[in-house]
Amino acid sequence: MSSDVRIPVLQVSSEIYPVLKTGGLADVCGALPDALARAGCDVRVLLPGFPAVLEAFSHRREVATFSLPWGEQAVVRCGHLAGVSCGRGTVMAYVIDVPGLFDRPGNPYLDAQRRPYADNHRRFAALAWAGAHLAAGIDPQWSPAVLHAHDWHAALAPALLKLWGPAAQRGVSSLYTVHNLAYQGVFDSFHLRELGLPEEAFRVEGLEFHGRISYMKAGLYYADHITTVSPTYAREIQTAEQGCGLDGLLRSRRDRLTGVLNGLDPKVWDPASDALIGSNYDAANMQGKARCKLALQRELGLERASRAPLFVMVSRLTEQKGVNLLLEAVPEILRQGGQLAVLGSGDTELEQALQRDASANPGRVAATLGYDEALAHRLFAAGDVTLVPSRFEPCGLTQLYGLRYGSLPLVHAVGGLADTVVDTDLATLEDQTATGCAFHAFTGSALQQAVRRAFALYRRPRDWSRVRQTAMCQRFDWDQAGEHYANLYQRLLAHD
């Protein structure tokens, strides 16, 4: 897109890095505004007024107040969001401030018992209503031509642009990005009127899903265009196996469905300049990586063994992420002389199983529960192999971090993992395209076979170094994604 074209774009999401992060959604939403600005867009973001967001929010002005359908008053404020780059400065942000909905400590989605908040249907409908009001021109100083909604938390916004008169009359285009189809935001149907949605929206050709309301389906049905975060995942979600009950709708909209591969922010993820790791390094000089490995082994209580391959996993600890397969593979990793370090949180049973493995194998297995951004960087910097054995993976970012940091990804070849990692075999060794190891069947035995192949490669230092160097030279940056999205926006406006 020509750099002199400034399409006003409102990005709507529930989290954004580095302000608030629970997963990869935040990384994407934090990096995309800057990439879109470079592609010639005038980008602003809309976020819920969570405590972390308000803390990072400055130079604020009150834009307007409006009533939510259930009676609460919402204030929309505008200002700058510290730490989120956009063009030559920080991103301009709107925040919907409703303390009764958002002023809660801890996880933005879960209560102290790690259960979804009972009023999540209201909390994220409020976010969507704020997006609709901005699309309808509530801010006299700026209004979007395109509303770009991310995941189920923002998915009602494209529906409201079609269903709510003041927004529909403005004709703002909408694009909806699915980050993970498995998390859909499904709520009881009796909330329909409470949320300000018309009765006619509750139908199969709308947001009805097995007798309930699906925010995800609302986005998929009403958005002018749909994207997912990798080309392979765009194909996979049109199948019954990975369509999560929405494959028929997605097939019917396949001409409005595009896979745009996520990128990696080099300002955050670059071993040559990363301030969160102890020693910097690059593909031409790997001495710093060796020092990072020894430092992490000391930090986590692992044996200081420079020649023991270190397998790392940074992930939500769920079945979807393949943690059950990893548990089956731990004996093989140890039998071959390797070490394992895991960082993450999730299902209690999986957390406890990893802790048992760590207790049973001191000095060889370390499990850190929770999430620590700095530790995640140190794990990739120290690791030899990054494990991503996900049952499905829309895009995945950890394999991109592994590639950049020379921690070769070992992945289940699905979704974005298949799009970004080239399996090592005789042919890819010969043409020097190999960047990691991949397996195809989602079974413990298939993962263990891939682990054995990783060890075999590690024991061939020349081949290992060559594959690692190829991996570190891969470039999955945001500029390409930003250009792709900008072109999609332009096409949407051209069709109006």
- pLDDT at position 59: 85
- List, in order, residues 6 or more apart from 8 with CB less than 8 Å away: 41, 42, 44, 142, 143, 144, 145, 146
Residue 98: its pLDDT value, please?
98
> Would you call 307 helix, strand, or coil by DSSP?
coil
Residue 18: its pLDDT value, please? Answer: 94
pLDDT tens over the chain, length 496 residues: 444 558 999 999 999 999 999 988 999 999 999 999 999 999 999 999 999 999 999 988 999 999 999 999 999 999 999 999 998 899 999 999 999 999 998 899 999 888 999 999 999 999 999 999 999 999 999 999 999 999 999 999 999 999 999 999 999 999 999 999 999 999 999 999 999 999 999 999 999 999 999 999 999 999 999 999 999 999 999 999 999 999 999 999 999 999 999 988 888 899 999 999 999 999 999 999 999 999 999 999 999 999 999 999 999 999 999 999 999 999 999 999 999 999 999 999 999 999 999 999 999 999 999 989 999 999 999 999 999 999 999 999 999 999 999 999 999 999 999 999 999 999 999 999 999 999 999 999 999 999 999 999 999 999 999 999 999 999 998 999 999 999 999 999 987 5
Kindly give the residue spans of alpha helices, DSSP state H, lying in 97-241.
99-102, 120-135, 156-163, 165-168, 215-222, 231-236
The answer to whether domain 7-263+478-495 and domain 287-472 are alike in fold is yes
Tell me how far apart the alpha carbons of residues 265 and 425 are, in angstroms, rounded to a whole number.
29
Whether omega before 140 lies within 30 degrees of 0, making that bond cis, reads: no
Query: What is the reported pLDDT for 3?
Result: 47
pTM recorded for the entire structure? 0.89
pLDDT for position 2: 45
**Residue 225: beta bridge partners?**
175
Domain 287-472 is found in CATH 3.40.50.2000: yes
Give start and end residues of each alpha helix (H) in 274-361.
287-300, 323-335, 348-360
Q: Of 132, 220, 124, which is closest to residue 172 (Cα–Cα)?
A: 132
Residue ranges of the domains in the chain?
Answer: 7-263+478-495, 287-472
Q: Looking at domain 7-263+478-495, which CATH architecture does it have?
A: 3-Layer(aba) Sandwich (3.40)
Q: What are phi and psi of 279, to 5 degrees?
A: -140, 130
| Separation of alpha carbons 452 and 333, rounded Å | 8
Q: N- to C-terminal Cα distance for the chain?
A: 18
Supply the pLDDT for residue 13.
98
